[in-house]
Amino acid sequence: MNTSRKGFRHLFGVILSLLLFFTFSATPALAATSQIIYQGSTSNKVVALTFDDGSDGYYIQSILNTLSANNVKATFFLTGHGAENHPQAIKNIVAAGHDIGNHSYNHPYFTAISTTEMTNQLNLTETIITNLTGKSTKPFFRAPYGSYNSTVLQTVGNAGYTYTFQWTIDTLDWTGNSATDIYNRVINNVVPGAIVLMHAGYGANGTTTALPNMIDQLRAMGYSFVTLSQLMNTTSTPGTGSGTNYTVQAGDTLYAIALRYGVTVQAIVNANGITNANLIRVGQVLTIPGTDTPTTPTTPTTPTTGTSYTVKAGDTLYAIALRYGVTVQAIVTANGIANANLIRVGQVLTIPGTSTPTTPTTPTTPTTGTTYTVKAGDTLYAIALRYGVTVQAIVTANNIANANLISIGQVLTIPGTGTPTTPTTPTTGTSYTVKAGDTLYAIALRYGVTITQLVNANGITNPNLIRVGQVLIIP
């Protein structure tokens, strides 16, 4: 009896051991979350040119010719569907010695699909590119539309993509803006370690013209060109003094970081070669000069005269000025503010010429066109689409210095139109009705056709202007 029990226990132990072995062997270890990168961590004057490819690859060869003529190496983010459509162009990219990364198979929003679909998108593209060129897209990924969250980063990391690249400078070339605008966006905003976003598709018709002059001017400014592989191996070299590094978190401002470390905003600006103190990005690594540990922030001074207002989270000078019926300039002058874009929570402002809040003033209506009040989530591109005008037309009509910076409540003049335009309906062919957020690029990817085919089939004069409700023929 004892022998039987011992035998049973032994057998049970063996079975349990085998079960545990296979259970844990079958459970894959999770890889580290993919690291989001907006800018290289360096004070060296280097810049990384990056190009996103889509379904048509219209300008790939022209871009390659320019890069080759100027002895510049860049990084291309490739889609699997694009590689199937123009395999030779993809081979040419790799043959020329450029870096490549994964940009999904057919450019969906990764934040809107399942983890299984994300993995399939990545693996399919990796297989297509590797079979075509012999080179892997790992470990570099760029999310379609730059759309990511923690789930995306974990899934991408699990798939072997260590780095997810955003950008320091968006040229907005996909909007069809001019070569001059593309050039100015780069030259006016370049900083050491900058990652420049451009596109190789049909819509980016200004990029090939801007690129040669951009390269020449960047070199004249002392910059050299690196691939993302080279950029990630670049170490930080603070320009002056000793210090430490700080990685920018969501909600950070230079002012708050400077307070935390007991230094001035200008000191951080100088140490990092920052051209615009209002533009820092999550994930950006800053050199904090002359200190190793955070210090206790200083207390803001309170104005000694006039009605006062304490700045709250989300406030802007524009909103405060509207509330009290004064101008932004009046508040700036009354408080000795050097930069109207830099106010801080808890700061006490003098509100000149009034003792109580008033009803915000009504913006004047221009004599031509109509006005539109910016709402949460709006972009100039979406507003331009709605009214059937170009982004540049709105920028010019409103003297906007930066097309990426519009504020909720801002009143825009919409030139040359009184109401949103009514879309025309094609009369033949399989059709698709444009929805909010659609682009010709996304529609072309969805149906496996090129942007050029959609343009020709629908008589579209500007591929960047399609409207919600517009019915397109899918050839």
Residue 56 DSSP class: S
CA distance 354 to 333: 15
CA distance 38 to 40: 7
Question: What type of residue is 370?
Answer: T
CA distance 221 to 440: 37
| Inter-residue contact 171 to 198 (CB < 8 Å) | yes
Which of 47, 44, 46, 39 is CA-nearest to residue 238? Answer: 44
Beta strand 224-225 with 46-52 is parallel
CA distance 214 to 211: 5
CA distance 110 to 121: 9
Q: Which among 52, 99, 173, 438 is annotated as catalytic?
A: 52
| Inter-residue contact 472 to 454 (CB < 8 Å) | yes
Q: Crossing angle for the helix pair 317-324 and 328-335, nearest 10 degrees?
A: 100
Active-site annotation holds for 52: yes
Which secondary structure element, helix H or strand E, spans residue 308, and what is its range?
strand 307-310
Q: Which among 86, 98, 103, 199 is annotated as catalytic?
A: 199
Paired strand residues for 370 = 414
Q: Active-site residues: which are they?
A: 52, 199
